[in-house]
A and B are shown apart, each in its own frame.
Chain A
Amino acid sequence: MRWGIRGLSLRNSERLLGIGLLFPTVALIAAVVLYPMISTMWLAFFKESLLRPNDPAEFVGIDNFVRLVSDGGFWKVVINSVVLTAGAVAGEVIIGMIIALAVNASYRGRGLFRTLNILPWVIPSFVTAFVWVWLLHPQFGPVNALLQLLHIIEDPIAWLSEGVTAMISLIAVYTWKGLPWTFLVLLAGLQTIPEDWYEAAKVDGASAWQMFWHITVPALRYVLVIVLVLRTIWTFNSFDMVYLLTGGGPARATLTLPMQVFNAGFREYNVGMSSAIAAVMVVLVVLLSLIMLRVGWVEEESQR
């Protein structure tokens, strides 16, 4: 009896300690992420100016959303976000997969190769933007110089000042920056596939293409879903490189949802509208997060 009580109280004190130690983490996330998130969703139903924080916010119901949906410009922004995200994620996954398949073997200098490759992912985004604005510069940029040298183009292209090329450039830069992560995760996934699966398939006369579709892809299913979902969310949410490279321009050709949330809030001081756009973003992100968690949990359960 004594033992039981002592054991129980020990367990209780351990639990209390456990909760206490995790408290700072929970408090930070609640104050800096959770509360602002709920607050934004709430503000989406109000009319308020960021310049006059002391004026009471006026409740306007779903007015902000109605105005958004009926604004043709907003749909253009949604499409821009989707095009940028789809383009960059597709580029990363396809190129990342090709590289991962190509280098999935040990060779000299592999460590150096991976270390160098991580650079685009870890350097500050403003550095990425600076470098690419220079590379793509119509007058000084090496990209035009190279294309002219190869006679692919006659005259220099002002990549970032024309609608279509600006979007293509953004997709290229996002792909370049996201590629290291995508590639490394896919490679780590590839390395968990036993070599003898391929050996057995070869004995049965499978072609390389068949092996890819019937061994590699199914084995990487979980990793692929994680990569697709996370990269989609992160690219979709990304603000800094759009802001730095094109600022959403020319005109509204590369204006994305995060840029628009920022513009509405900090250039037009329209709190309600900014929050409404952010709320629309959240709906999509929450959906994707749920898919991610579900796949993750299902996979874990099947491993037990």
Chain B
Amino acid sequence: MRRVTKVLTAKHRPRALLGLFLSFLAVFPIYFMVVGSISPVETFLRRDLGEILLPRAFVGDHMAVVAFDPVFLRFALNSLIVATATTFVSIAVATLGAYSLARLRFPGGEVIGRFALLTYTVPSVLLLIPLFKIVVTLNLANNLIALVITYTTFSVPFCLWLLRSYFQSLPRDLEEAAMVDGASRLGALFRVILPLSVPGIVATALFAFILAWNEFLFALVFTTTSDVKTLPIGVSTTFTAEQTATDWAVAMSASTLSAVPIFIIVLILQRGLVRGITAGAVKG
């Protein structure tokens, strides 16, 4: 026990190696997925671990099957529409709210901001039946708008807090100078603050995009026809024939392709993603 803890707390070079090893453990299922999607189908049959890790050949058949499947493309397009719309609406709503919380102090504002965060502790299943009834009443079943409104609500509190801290980091003098020059509050927000906040807004927008791209439960209940299904529901209902090795290769291709936008966002944001994801839980 003593030796273990010593290794854990003392400054050590092997830490880097340990870190890399553990990160491999964390990523290996995703690595398997990506490699599996371009492996020959025999790899799935032979179960040779070496071959699964490093296939002898790469093939694009399964990728092509999925990428040119009009059904899959429809799901992908729906996901793209929903996630993009959610992102834009969330940023619009959260920017206004965040500016209000950052600069225009009024009684109750702080409390509202905190209660907005409580949204994340509400079990989604709790909202299912009433929301389903509303959606049916408003004739929004099998309509992507229902998803956009729901996802926006769940991404706004997070965006609100990220943007608020971003706005707070900007000096007040900038707006005050603009206002002395005759700009209104909103004018100062749109002409001075927003242009300066583009990096923060982009990072926040990508969080909203991830949330909408990944959402499963509400899509499961609000969409039943395949012309409006998003990737999570579409792929998991269409590509699940787990009978043959080919099915598995195709399923891995569909999974990999569905995760591509996420991989791209991770590459773009890198440390910013890590900071954003842990924001709020640790102050400072």
Please tell me if A64 contacts chain B, counting CB pairs below 8 Å. no
The count of residues in chain A whose C-beta lies closer than 8 Å to any C-beta of chain B is: 109
Smallest CB gap from B153: residue in A: A32
A223–B282 Cα gap in the complex (Å)? 6
Contacting residue for A289 out of B99, B121, B262, B278, CB 8 A:
B121
Please tell me if A132 contacts chain B, counting CB pairs below 8 Å. yes
Contacting residue for B26 out of A21, A131, A180, A198, CB 8 A:
A180
Please tell me if A145 contacts chain B, counting CB pairs below 8 Å. yes
Please tell me if B213 contacts chain A, counting CB pairs below 8 Å. yes
Q: Decide: A179 and B8 in contact? CB cutoff 8 A.
A: no
| Minimum C-beta distance from A120 to chain B (A) | 6
A73–B15 Cα gap in the complex (Å)? 48
B64-95 with Cβ < 8 A to chain A: 92-94
Please tell me if A82 contacts chain B, counting CB pairs below 8 Å. no
B residues in contact with A4, CB < 8 Å: none
A residues in contact with B116, CB < 8 Å: 25-26, 29
Q: Decide: B281 and A265 in contact? CB cutoff 8 A.
A: no
| Minimum C-beta distance from A222 to chain B (A) | 9
A residues in contact with B26, CB < 8 Å: 116-117, 119-120, 176, 179-180
- Sort chain B's interface into a size bin: 35 or more
Q: Decide: A28 and B156 in contact? CB cutoff 8 A.
A: yes
Majority DSSP secondary structure for residues of B touching A? helix
| Minimum C-beta distance from B208 to chain A (A) | 13
A102-151 with Cβ < 8 A to chain B: 102-103, 105, 107-111, 113-135, 137, 140-142, 144-146, 149
A184–B101 Cα gap in the complex (Å)? 27
A14–B150 Cα gap in the complex (Å)? 30
10 contacts between A and B (CB under 8 A): A98-B8, A101-B9, A115-B270, A116-B27, A120-B30, A131-B33, A184-B274, A212-B5, A243-B216, A265-B128
In the complex, besides A25-B157, A119-B30, A230-B120, 13 extra interface pairs with C-beta distance below 8 angstroms are: A25-B160, A28-B149, A32-B127, A99-B19, A101-B9, A105-B11, A120-B26, A124-B262, A127-B33, A141-B47, A176-B29, A212-B5, A240-B232
CB-CB nearest 7 A-B residue pairs: A18-B104, A36-B130, A21-B100, A107-B16, A32-B153, A39-B130, A208-B5
Q: Which B positions have Cβ atoms within 8 angstroms of A?
A: 1-2, 5-13, 15-16, 18-20, 22-23, 26-27, 29-30, 32-33, 36, 44-45, 47-49, 52, 92-94, 96-97, 99-101, 103-106, 109, 112, 114-116, 118-134, 136, 149-150, 152-154, 156-157, 160, 185-186, 210, 213-214, 216-217, 220-221, 231-233, 235-236, 242, 245, 248, 251-252, 254-255, 258-259, 262-263, 265-267, 270-271, 273-274, 277-278, 281-282, 284
